[in-house]
Amino acid sequence: MDTWGVYAPWYVESRSTKKFRQWSGVVRARVSTRRASRAGRVENCRIRPSATEKSLTDPTPQHSANDDLLFTPLDLGGVRLGNRTALAPMTRVSATEDGMVTDRNARYYAGFARGGFALVVTEGVYTDTEHSQGYLHQPGLATPAQGEAWRPVVEAVHTAGGAIFAQLMHAGAQSQGNPLRQGTVGPSAVAPRGEQLSFYRGSGPYATPRALDAREIADIRRGFADAARHAVAAGFDGVEVHGANGYLLDQFLTDYLNQREDGYGGSVENRVRLAAEVVDEVLQAVGSEIAVGIRISQSKVSDFHHRWAGGAEDAETIFTTLARTGAHFLHTTEHKALEPAFSTGTETLAELAKKFSGLPVIANGGLGEPKAARAALGSGAADVIAIGKGALAQRDWPHRVRDGLEFATEPRPDTLGPLADIKDWELAR
């Protein structure tokens, strides 16, 4: 039997119909039971609940009608957030050559926590010492030593009053800098569209990848789980699987990049399979200890205009499949999060994620204006707002918005240029 056919425990496939049926509700119950086994603790603004507290995947509002939704607390995957603002993950290529974070990373991330961001999501962190690295000087969680290097970063964010999630990423065919291995890998031998990004030290078109085999796919799943274990050892409050923006898991989901004829290709049910398997394996590894979620998008670094061909039907399949794993949250990202996801409907991607998963949703994309952020929360589609460009422009965005103060809306021109590395002036208190 194919390895993909026996691995995923939340569904089985009929070879005659090629359709999926849900196996049972045991996965969600399993995760809830394991998470409830942790005792409640208080540290700064972060609280892990005891078994007597309410289920943390229940998106029931925790505020009165008169409260400012941006600044009401929320339990997200077992982590107590003092408000609904998060630093969006942004690649800053500022680790050492061998993927170790340093004091610069600690000072950088802690600055956003001091500025009022309740949650800090790191840039994408590579997960293994094979083909997962995407950029030169990208940080890793592939080894225990890399995990240990993150400990001072985590402690700095905690001391500043924030929670911190590590974003676990495999670049796949979108890699443009990996000193560990020659060549790139992907679902099929199809190169991503567009060209590499110069501010991440890339140039020219993306290389045509080598198609992954079943053994390598299994190794990639294990790499994500091992990286999550290193995140736990470093003290992270959660991990976010990177299933967006054209990286490996999104490549499997993308119809024109995935031309496989096995259980990972063809239908959208098959193409979302690897993302779901990775989330499930990470949950089995660390889901009882920290929050586990996944980031999803339609557009990519290499293809800004991509949309799912099946529209809302594809969204239903994708989000329901991911929810069946027992994930604690979803993170959607669009260029403009408040705009309809598809030309044929009115619902945003965040609304579709909430509708079809029932999970807490982090929304990202053009929400740096407080009115837009509050609209996303007020609609019920989003539970947390992730700010990227606005955070780079104003590290204390949450404090300034809360206090009604003016704030910058555009980052300095040299923030991401000529390289997107962390600048000295960003580290000033």
How far is it, in rounded angstroms, from Cα 127 to Cα 131?
9
Q: How many CA atoms lie within 13 A of 214 on its CB side?
A: 10
Which residues are known to be catalytic?
247
Specify the DSSP class assigned to residue 134: -
Q: Which residues contact 58 (CB under 8 A, 6 or more apart)?
A: none
Q: Which two tokens stand for residue 398?
A: 């949450």
Report whether 125 contacts 139 (CB < 8 A). yes
Report whether 260 contacts 11 (CB < 8 A). no
How far is it, in rounded angstroms, from Cα 150 to Cα 170?
18
Q: What angle is formed at CA 285 by the lines to CA 137 and CA 107, rounded to 5 degrees?
A: 35
Report whether 360 contacts 383 (CB < 8 A). yes
Q: How many CA atoms lie within 13 A of 398 on its CB side?
A: 27
Report whether 382 contacts 388 (CB < 8 A). no
